[in-house]
Amino acid sequence: MNNHAFILPVLIPLIAAMLCVLLPTGNRAGRRVVGGLALLGTTAVAVGLVLLADTGAIGIYRFGNWPIPYGIIFLVDRLSALMVLLCSTVGLIAFAHASVGPDRRSDHFPTLFLTLVAGVNGAFLTGDAFNLFVFFEILLLSAYILVVHGRAAARAQAGMQYVFLNLVGSALFLVAVGMLYGLTGTLNMAHMAVRVTELPPGDAALLRVGAVLMMVVFAIKSALFPVWSWLPRAYAASSAPVAAVFAIMTKVGVYAIIRYSGLIFGAGRGPVEDLVKPWLLPLALITTVVAIIAAVAARRLNVLASWLLIASVGTILVGPGLFQDDGLAAGLYYMLHSTLAMAALFLVADLIERQRGPELGDSLVPGPAMPQQRLVGVLFMVTMVAVAGLPPLSGFLGKALLLSAASQHPAAPAIFVILLGASFASLVVISRAGSVLFWKTTDSPAPASASITWKALPVSLLLLCILGLTLGAGPVSEYLDRTAAQVRDPSILIDAVLGERP
């Protein structure tokens, strides 16, 4: 018997998106209510899924009740439930930021936003390689439109590069999926993990090519060095709530890397065993270093935030790159933290932009004092502490967990130097930005701008989530330890998926 709750994180946003299309033109309040309620419902379901997954059971939803491996399935384990919860939470808060207060966004913003959330949730839940491609396309198509959404010319240009690059990425993805299907004869991820061990030795080289192509595609999606060039322009040009939810979109790539390197290309998988092992850690470290250097050179707050986002992806992937249970758990903890923190940074940047008026915007040059300087300043400072990974917030705990997991690793010196150096550099970069924005004020009168008191509420909510992550670090990291053990043992998923007959 299928548990229909497993498909709700995709179904609720999709149905709400359709309702938003049906509402009469100009009915923005109605769309905001529908979207908000849908995202609230999705988050509630996600909490339920996490609680369910933590019992250790692997939830399987068979579409049309087709027997495995012929039908498409959804998989709910600890990792995917957690990712859905993270996406829904950030989505809900970013949507609230977009909906509260005055806004000139078009009628279709809620629709696109909801399909984006549906696509991301679907990518986290699916247990089928081709279905993953389909959900990638759903989230990308919504993302394309959201990037170019609005009047600014910069958006059309950044959007074009983003779209064309990702279309090439999608073609690569199809080639990789086709190759893996041609060799293993299955698309079900767990079944594929079994079949790769049974291949004749002559097919090993081809299989490795397919697997590497697959990982390259995921690296593009997570903006890993050297295939990241699309991210900063696209994210810096898109509007704040969109950029905030894009902070989770790179995590789709991260999730796929973790899932595939744990299941199909993981331990005991014959010719593709530990395929990514020699690559992931060096690439993650290089990503962190180069992104931090680029962040130093940023002249606008949004560009700065985009580079810091890439740097945080590098730091997260150090965790799975260690190929240890505690390393993966630490990486996941840091991922929870940094996704919330980066989303908060994009939203705070939007508040600053609104306060400084359209002329100065988010460029890092001195301007008149903001009308609500104190409120924005406090929010910016707390976000800064979170992003730079300073105590007492959870970024510090995440980095400490990562470093303690890495202490026995052969590459420990490099990891220590780079992670600590990156923390320090990002602290310098953000405090420099903060001092320009808040302290180097000119005496010219501040431009008239609408009050942002209500807009500050969703950001505060994000920061409260970070605080919760800090206070609840014990239970959360215990959950993540169990998650890491589950993800890194392919036999658990394989037994759950293939052992069960309808």
By CB under 8 A, residue 71 contacts other proteins:
no
Minimum distance, C-beta of residue 141 to other proteins, in the bound complex (Å): 7
Give the tokens for residue 400.
């400490």
Q: How far is CA 137 from the centre of its chain?
A: 16
With respect to other proteins, which residue has the nearer C-beta, 75 or 187?
Answer: 187
By CB under 8 A, residue 178 contacts other proteins:
yes
Pairing label, strands 73-76, 59-62: antiparallel
> How many CB atoms lie under 10 A from the CB of residue 65?
10
By CB under 8 A, residue 390 contacts other proteins:
no
With respect to other proteins, which residue has the nearer C-beta, 185 or 282?
Answer: 185
With respect to other proteins, which residue has the nearer C-beta, 180 or 332?
Answer: 180
Q: How far is CA 261 from the centre of its chain?
A: 18
Piece in contact with other proteins (CB under 8 A), picked from 50-58, 176-184, 389-397, 488-496: 176-184
Q: Measuring CA to CA, which residue among 287, 252, 211, 15 is closest to residue 126? A: 252
Site for other proteins in 108-137 (CB under 8 A): 130, 134, 137
Give the tokens for residue 479.
């959950």
The string of DSSP codes covering 287-312 is HHHHHHHHHHT--BHHHHHHHHHHHH
With respect to other proteins, which residue has the nearer C-beta, 161 or 451?
Answer: 161
Minimum distance, C-beta of residue 500 to other proteins, in the bound complex (Å): 21
Minimum distance, C-beta of residue 153 to other proteins, in the bound complex (Å): 5
With respect to other proteins, which residue has the nearer C-beta, 2 or 170?
Answer: 170
Minimum distance, C-beta of residue 148 to other proteins, in the bound complex (Å): 6
Minimum distance, C-beta of residue 197 to other proteins, in the bound complex (Å): 20
Report the greatest alpha carbon distance in the chain. 75
> How many CB atoms lie under 10 A from the CB of residue 96?
23
Alpha carbon distances (Å) from 492 to 35, 190, 192, 328: 37, 10, 14, 17
Minimum distance, C-beta of residue 375 to other proteins, in the bound complex (Å): 36
Site for other proteins in 19-58 (CB under 8 A): none
Piece in contact with other proteins (CB under 8 A), picked from 17-25, 180-188, 201-209, 441-449: 180-188
With respect to other proteins, which residue has the nearer C-beta, 130 or 279?
Answer: 130
Show contacts of 389-392: CB within 8 Å, 24+ apart. Answer: 389/423, 389/426, 390/423, 390/427, 392/470
* Residue 63 backbone class (left: φ over 0; alpha: ψ -120 to 50; beta: rest): beta
Measured CA to CA, the distance from residue 439 to residue 431 in angstroms comes to 11
Q: How far is CA 280 from the centre of its chain?
A: 18
Site for other proteins in 134-173 (CB under 8 A): 134, 137, 141, 144-145, 148, 153, 156-157, 159-161, 163-164, 167-168, 170-171
Say which amino acid occupies 248.
I
Query: At a CB cut-off of 8 Å and minimum separation 6, what does 123 contact?
Result: 132, 135, 136, 139, 252, 255, 256
Minimum distance, C-beta of residue 64 to other proteins, in the bound complex (Å): 14
With respect to other proteins, which residue has the nearer C-beta, 37 or 154?
Answer: 154
The continuous run of DSSP H or E covering 74 comes out as strand 73-76
Interface residue with other proteins among 5, 175, 286, 498 (CB under 8 A) is 175
Site for other proteins in 181-200 (CB under 8 A): 181-182, 185, 187
In terms of residues, how long is the chain?
Answer: 502
Measured CA to CA, the distance from residue 189 to residue 311 in angstroms comes to 30
Q: Measuring CA to CA, which residue among 379, 308, 362 is closest to residue 338? A: 308
With respect to other proteins, which residue has the nearer C-beta, 187 or 256?
Answer: 187
Q: Measuring CA to CA, which residue among 338, 311, 335, 334 is closest to residue 398? A: 334
Q: Please, which residues bridge with residue 61 across strands?
A: 74
Measured CA to CA, the distance from residue 191 to residue 188 in angstroms comes to 5
By CB under 8 A, residue 230 contacts other proteins:
no
Minimum distance, C-beta of residue 117 to other proteins, in the bound complex (Å): 19
Backbone angles phi, psi at 452, to 5 degrees: -110, 15
With respect to other proteins, which residue has the nearer C-beta, 107 or 137?
Answer: 137
Minimum distance, C-beta of residue 134 to other proteins, in the bound complex (Å): 7
Piece in contact with other proteins (CB under 8 A), picked from 96-104, 174-182, 294-302, 419-427: 174-182
With respect to other proteins, which residue has the nearer C-beta, 161 or 460?
Answer: 161
Minimum distance, C-beta of residue 35 to other proteins, in the bound complex (Å): 22
Minimum distance, C-beta of residue 175 to other proteins, in the bound complex (Å): 6
Minimum distance, C-beta of residue 199 to other proteins, in the bound complex (Å): 15
By CB under 8 A, residue 177 contacts other proteins:
yes
With respect to other proteins, which residue has the nearer C-beta, 163 or 224?
Answer: 163
Minimum distance, C-beta of residue 127 to other proteins, in the bound complex (Å): 16
Q: Please, which residues bridge with residue 363 across strands?
A: 300
Q: How many residues bind other proteins (CB under 8 A)?
A: 28
With respect to other proteins, which residue has the nearer C-beta, 167 or 297?
Answer: 167
Q: Which residues bind other proteins (CB under 8 A)?
A: 130, 134, 137, 141, 144-145, 148, 153, 156-157, 159-161, 163-164, 167-168, 170-171, 174-175, 177-179, 181-182, 185, 187
